[in-house]
Chain A
Amino acid sequence: MFILKLVLKNALRHKLRTFLTILGISIAVMSFGFLRTIVTAWSAGVESSAANRMIVRHAVSFIFPLPYAYREQLSRIPGITMVSYANWFGGVYKDPADFKNFFPRLAVDPETYFEIYPEFTLPPDQLATFKQERGSCVVGAKIAQELGFKIGDAIPIDGDIYPGRWDFVVRGIYKGKDASTDETQMLFHWNYLNERIKELQPSREGNVGWYILRVQNPGDMPVIARTVDQSYLNSRAGTKTETEKEFQQSFVSMSSAIIRSLEVVSFIIIGIILLVLANTIVMAARERTTEYAVLKTIGFSSWHIVGLISGESLLIAGIGGLVGLATTFPVAAGFATMFPTFFPVFNVETVTIIMAALVATVAGVIAALFPTIRALRMSIADGLRAIG
Chain B
Amino acid sequence: MIEVHNISKSYRRDSLEVPVLTNITIDVPEGEFLALMGPSGSGKTTLLNLIAGIDRPDKGSIVVNGTDIATLNESTLATWRSHNVGFIFQFYNLLPVLTAFENVELPLLLTNLSKKERREHVEASLKLVGLEDRMKHYPKQLSGGQEQRVAIARAIVTDPTVLVADEPTGDLDRVSAGEVMTLMDRLNKEFKKTIVMVTHDPRAAEKAHKVMHLDKGELT
Contact = CB atoms under 8 A, between A and B. Distances in A.
A12 B81 CA distance: 30
Nearest to A8: B97
Interface string B42-86: 000010010010110000000000000000001100110111000
| Chain B residues touching A, range | 20 to 34
Interface stretch (B105-113, B142-150, B177-185): B105-113
Interface stretch (A125-133, A287-295, A348-356): A287-295
Given A380-B54, A387-B91, A298 B49 contact: no
B33 interface: no
Contacts of A380: 49, 54-55
A387 B170 CA distance: 14
Interface residues of A, number: 22
A295 B55 CA distance: 15
A294 B75 contact: no
Contact of B54 (A290, A291, A297, A302): A297
B55 A300 contact: no
B101 interface: no
A379 B79 CA distance: 16
Contacts of A291: 93, 95
Interface string A360-388: 00000000000000000001110010010
A134 interface: no
Interface centre among B75, B79, B97 (most CB of A within 10 A): B97
A262 to B, nearest CB: 42
Contacts of A9: 97-98
A295 B78 contact: no
Given A380-B54, A381-B55, A301 B75 contact: yes
B97 A294 contact: no
A300 B93 CA distance: 15
7 contacts: A2-B109, A296-B54, A297-B54, A380-B54, A381-B55, A384-B54, A384-B89
Given A13-B97, A300-B110, 19 more contacts: A6-B95, A9-B97, A294-B87, A295-B106, A297-B81, A298-B81, A298-B87, A298-B106, A298-B107, A298-B154, A299-B79, A299-B83, A299-B107, A299-B110, A302-B74, A381-B49, A381-B55, A384-B89, A387-B93
Interface of A: 2, 6, 9-10, 12-13, 290-291, 294-302, 379-381, 384, 387
Interface of B: 46, 49, 52, 54-55, 74-75, 78-79, 81-83, 87, 89, 91, 93, 95-98, 106-107, 109-110, 154
Question: When A and B form their complex, which 9 residue pairs have the shortest distance between CB atoms, in order from nearest?
Answer: A299-B82, A9-B97, A380-B54, A381-B55, A294-B93, A299-B78, A298-B107, A299-B110, A381-B49
